[in-house]
Amino acid sequence: MALKRGILLGTLGLAAIGAGAWFFLGGGTPAKSAKSPAPAIPVVLAKAELKDVALALEIPGRAEAFETVTLKARVEGQVQAVPYTEGQRVKKGDILVRLDPADFEARLRQAEANLAKSQAQAAKSRADVERYIALKAKGFVSDEKVGEMRTAAAAAEASVRADQAAADLVRLQLGYTTLRAPFDGIVGARLVFPGSAVKVNDTALAVVNRVRPLYVSFAVAEKHLPQLRAAMSQESRSTRATVSIPGDASTPLEAEVGFLDNAVDTTTGTVQLKATVANTDEKLTPGQFVNVSLVLETLQQAITVPTEAIQQGQDGAFLFVVQEDGSAVTRKVTVRASQKGVAVIADGLKAGETVVTNGQLRLTPGAKVKAAGAERRDEKAKGSQDTQGGGKEAAAPKPKD
C-alpha cells in the first residue's frame, strides 16, 4: 500500500516537472511581448513667424473739450431772456442770454446828452477865440485876454473827449447785456432763468464746449519717457494713437499726440499727454472714459508666436519645440513683449520652428506629439474608404445560377 502511494506521488512530481519545462520552453502560453511605444500626444501646433510688430501701450484716458468757457456777465442786471435750448449746437456769435438793457439805455442817452452839451460849448469856445484874435488885431483886447479864450477852448475840447469816452463806456456796457457764443460748440444746461439777478463776474450764465476737434488726456509711466521723446522728436512722422470706447466694437478713432507735459507727477510717477481727435461725428463727449492705444516703437521682422505657447517655469519662460522626428523638447526663451495674443521672442527661437500652443500639460521632454485632429482626419479617411469599398461590393453583379 505504501509502495503504491510512493509510486503515485513520484509519477505526479515527474508530470509537474515536465509540464513546467514544456511551458517555459515555449510549448505553453507565450511570454509577454516587449512593451509597445507610447502613442503620440495630440496637441495644437503653430509656426514661429517673422512679422513687423508695433509695440503699443494700452492706457485709459478721458475726453476733454478742445475749448470750454463758462459765460459770466460783465455788468450787473437782471436776466431778460434765455433763448437757447439745452444741449443745442451753437455757432460763434449766437445769442445765449439777454440782460435787461433799460438801465444802460438810459445811461447812454444821458451820456450822449452830456456829449452834445460839451460839443456845443467847445464850438462856442472856438468861435470866441477867433473873435478875440480879430479884436486883438484892432487893438481892442490884450494878449492876456486872447490867452484866456484859448485856455477855455482847450478845456471845452477836453470835456468833449471825456464825455465821448463816457458815452462809449455806457455803449459797451449796453453791449454786455447780450451774451453770445464765443465759438462753435455745444451749450450745456440752463443755469439762469428770466428774472434771475446777475452779479459782475460771479453768476455763471451758460457753459459752452467745443467738441470738434476734441482732446483725449491720458497718463504714461515715466519709464516710457525716452521712447516718447524719441517718437515725438521725429519730424518725419507724428506720434499716432488710436482711441476706442469700451464695449464699442466699431473702428477706433485716429488721434495725434501733440502735448507732453513738462514735468512728471511725483505722486503717481506718470507724465500727462494729450491727443487730438477730429471727432467729426461727435462720437466722443467731454469727460467720457476711453481706451488709448499709443504706439511707442515698431519692431521690424521680429520672431513671433502665439502667447499661449509661452510657459513659465522656475528658470523663466520656456516653450515646447517640435523636432523633425515629432518629439517635443523644452526650449528656454526670452520674451521681449507680449500684446494682443502675440509674443515677441528676443532669444531662443528661430523663425519657422514649430511650437506647441495647447496641450502642454500632457507633455514631457522627448514625448511624441502630433497635431490635434489627426485621429479624426484618419478616421474620416478610413470611413470614406470603407464606404467606397462597400459601394463597389454592392454594385458587383450577382452570379447566375
| 193-203 residue pLDDT tens | 999 999 999 99
The CATH 2.40.30.170 domain(s) of the chain lie at: 59-64+206-298
Spatial distance between the Cα atoms of 104 and 107, rounded to a whole number of angstroms: 5
Spatial distance between the Cα atoms of 133 and 220, rounded to a whole number of angstroms: 82
Report whether 216 contacts 243 (CB < 8 A). Answer: yes
Q: Which fold has domain 101-176?
A: Helix Hairpins (1.10.287)
pLDDT at 398 over 80: no
| Report field, pTM of the whole predicted structure over 0.75 | no
Across 144-172, average pLDDT: 94
The CATH 1.10.287.470 domain(s) of the chain lie at: 101-176
Q: Which fold has domain 59-64+206-298?
A: Elongation Factor Tu (Ef-tu); domain 3 (2.40.30)
Across 223-228, average pLDDT: 88
Cell matching residue 297: 516703437
**Cell 523663466 maps to which residue?**
316
Cα 352 → chain centroid: 34
Mean pLDDT of the chain: 85
Spatial distance between the Cα atoms of 165 and 115, rounded to a whole number of angstroms: 9
pLDDT digits (tens, 9 = 90+) for 353-394: 999 999 888 888 889 998 886 444 444 545 554 544 444 443
Higher pLDDT, 269 or 229: 269
Write b or e for each residue in 356-385: b if 16 or more Cβ atoms lie within 10 A of its Cβ, otherwise e. Answer: bbebbeebeeebebeeeeeeeeeeeeeeee
Q: Per-residue DSSP letters for 137-178?
A: HTTSS-HHHHHHHHHHHHHHHHHHHHHHHHHHHHHHHHHTTE
Write b or e for each residue in 76-110: b if 16 or more Cβ atoms lie within 10 A of its Cβ, otherwise e. Answer: ebebbebebeeeeebeeebebbbbbbebbeebbee
The CATH 2.40.420.20 domain(s) of the chain lie at: 301-374
Spatial distance between the Cα atoms of 188 and 300, rounded to a whole number of angstroms: 48
The one-letter amino acid code at 235 reads E
Within 8 A by CB and 6+ apart from 234, the residues are none
Spatial distance between the Cα atoms of 129 and 117, rounded to a whole number of angstroms: 19
Across 213-236, average pLDDT: 85
pLDDT at 169 over 90: yes
Which range is least confidently modeled, 8-17, 119-128, 164-173, 343-352? 8-17
CA-based nearest residue to 115, from 150, 158, 72: 158
Higher pLDDT, 258 or 277: 277
Q: Is it true that domain 301-374 has CATH number 2.40.420.20? A: yes
Beta strands in 168-309 (DSSP E): 178-180, 185-187, 197-198, 204-221, 240-244, 253-265, 270-277, 289-306
387 φ, ψ (degrees, to nearest 5): -65, -40
Higher pLDDT, 398 or 126: 126
Kindly give the residue spans of alpha helices, DSSP state H, lying in 23-142: 102-137
Which range is least confidently modeled, 94-98, 109-113, 323-327? 323-327
**Percent of the chain whose predicted confidence (pLDDT) is above 70:** 82
Q: Residue 65: enclosing H or E segment and its boundaries?
A: strand 49-72
pLDDT of residue 6: 54
pLDDT of residue 390: 47
The one-letter amino acid code at 274 reads K
pLDDT of residue 395: 43
Do the strands 253-265 and 270-277 form a parallel or antiparallel pair, or are they unpaired? antiparallel
Spatial distance between the Cα atoms of 343 and 262, rounded to a whole number of angstroms: 34
CA-based nearest residue to 304, from 258, 268, 263, 357: 357
